Structure 1
Amino acid sequence: MTTPRTARPAPSSRPARPSPGQIRAKILDAAAECLLHGGFASGRLLSAIARTAGLSRPTLYKYGGTIDDIKEALVERELAAFLDELAPRLEDVRWSADDLTELLVFIVGYARNHRLLNAALRDVPELVLPVFTLHASEPIARISEMAAPIVQRHVDRGHFPPVDVPVLTDVLFRITLSTVLIRSRFDFDDPDVLRAYLRTALTVAADLHTPAP
């Protein structure tokens, strides 16, 4: 009588090792979480990020670099995410007060509701404000670079008049900055208030081009 063979257990499959890109993304996710909870002013931020990401300090240094490197990479990631959201809206906009108002409502609302930006303004305004004022040329240039071919297509199709993209970008950036940072009697957290304010501002600007009767 033949003894039946016992089937060998299948070799256990090990989970795939995360790629460097996945590790860096994990580090940035952990950094964002730590920064949201008061980490901007913390002197032990690297330790907090390593703990949150479940990584050793050497691994953190290898894939994330210094705390300044991590913050810079996080800013770059957030700016790229914003540009990804802005581009399709810019593709659909037309040269009218209504469309430009809605574009500005999106931009201002995005900035005012950005959790990391709000956390930074709460914890370290003295470090954040220069980034968006004295040293704002780089993000403005990035936005202008993204917008230029889209605006040119609108001009070629007759949807826009000939527009100086760097000037347009600079103006929109300044409007966004002022409505995010300057507090006044207007409640810009209310989209209807924000929309009415921007619509009035654009109308006044457009009327300046019309000679007075």
Structure 2
Amino acid sequence: MSSQAGEIRARILDAAADCLAEGGFASNRLLSVIARRAGLSRPTLYKYGGTLDEIKDALIERELTAFLQLIEPAIDEAEWDADYVVDLLVLLVGHARGHRLLGAAVRDVPDLVLPLFTTHADVTVARVTALAGPIVQRKIDRGEFPPIDAAVLIDVLTRFVLSLVLVNSAVDADDPEALRRYLRTVIGFTALLPGRDGVPSPSMS
């Protein structure tokens, strides 16, 4: 992709993000609004951005990539212990709950959005795994994580984060300290589960 094409595509995605955050998820004329916001004609929008579904998919991919870039240093500096997992989950949940596009989507079109992260969460999990998998695998290859199945670990953590972001519960997920206490308790439970030989499973610490 040429630099000019990349610049135009970035303008389209920026305009789409603004329009969607401002209530455009429920708009029947969203492409026209995006084109106007980006300062482009409809033919130019189609040429560089594609259909509305393609623009939304590209925007989701861009947001997930930015999210992984944000947390990559935290993963790279990670140690294999329970406190780290708690801190990472608090970071993930806090960022997701404060994300303006996700918040706007849940607000404006919950019937369309919620299934993507619940009954059809496999699509989101696959995207996150494709982006985060190599980071976790590097930790394993360097001996900084035990020889775990990276895909399964990412799958479990992603589904757990989605539940805390989207499903109301007794824990106040917007309060980092309350969330941290809750997560420490949950991880403490898993560490106490016995194996078939009756011996508690080894903790992460």
**Shorter-chain TM band:** 0.7 to 0.9
1:22–1:105 Cα change, 3 Å:
same
**Residue in 2 that maps onto 1:183:** 168
From 85, 92, 96, the equivalent of 1:100 is 85
From 139, 144, 147, the equivalent of 2:124 is 139
Amino acid at match of 1:208: L
From 174, 188, 192, the equivalent of 1:203 is 188
1:52-91 residue pairs with structure 2 within 5 A?
Answer: 52-91=37-76
**Does the 8 A contact of 1:87 with 1:146 survive in 2?**
no
**Residue in 2 that maps onto 1:126:** 111
Amino acid at match of 1:129: L
**Residue in 1 that maps onto 2:24:** 39
Deviation per CA, 1:106-140: give whole Å up to 9, x if none: 11111111110010001111111122123322332
Q: Please tell me whether Structure 1 or Structure 2 has the larger radius of gyration of its CA atoms.
A: 1
Question: CA RMSD, aligned part only?
Answer: 1.8
From 171, 182, 188, the equivalent of 2:156 is 171
Whole-angstrom distance in 2 between the partners of 1:165 and 1:184? 28
**Residue in 2 that maps onto 1:13:** none
**Does the 8 A contact of 2:93 with 2:164 survive in 1?**
yes
Q: Single out whichever of 97-106 and 136-145 deviates more from structure 2.
A: 136-145
For normalisation by structure 1, the TM-score amounts to 0.84
**Does the 8 A contact of 1:147 with 1:165 survive in 2?**
no
Amino acid at match of 1:177: L
1:49–1:148 Cα change, 3 Å:
closer
Deviation per CA, 1:24-60: give whole Å up to 9, x if none: 1001111111101110000011111111111111211
SS in 1 for 2:184: helix
**Residue in 2 that maps onto 1:10:** none
Amino acid at match of 2:113: V
Deviation per CA, 1:157-180: give whole Å up to 9, x if none: 443222111211111012101111
What is the aligned-residue identity percentage? 60
Amino acid at match of 1:171: V
Deviation per CA, 1:3-43: give whole Å up to 9, x if none: xxxxxxxxxxxxxxx70110110011111111011100000
**Does the 8 A contact of 1:90 with 1:147 survive in 2?**
no
Whole-angstrom distance in 1 between the partners of 2:21 and 2:131? 28
Deviation per CA, 1:60-114: give whole Å up to 9, x if none: 1221111111111111111111121222211111111111111111111111111
From 13, 34, 40, the equivalent of 1:28 is 13
Whole-angstrom distance in 2 between the partners of 1:81 and 1:207? 36
SS in 2 for 1:185: coil
Amino acid at match of 1:142: R
SS in 2 for 1:19: helix
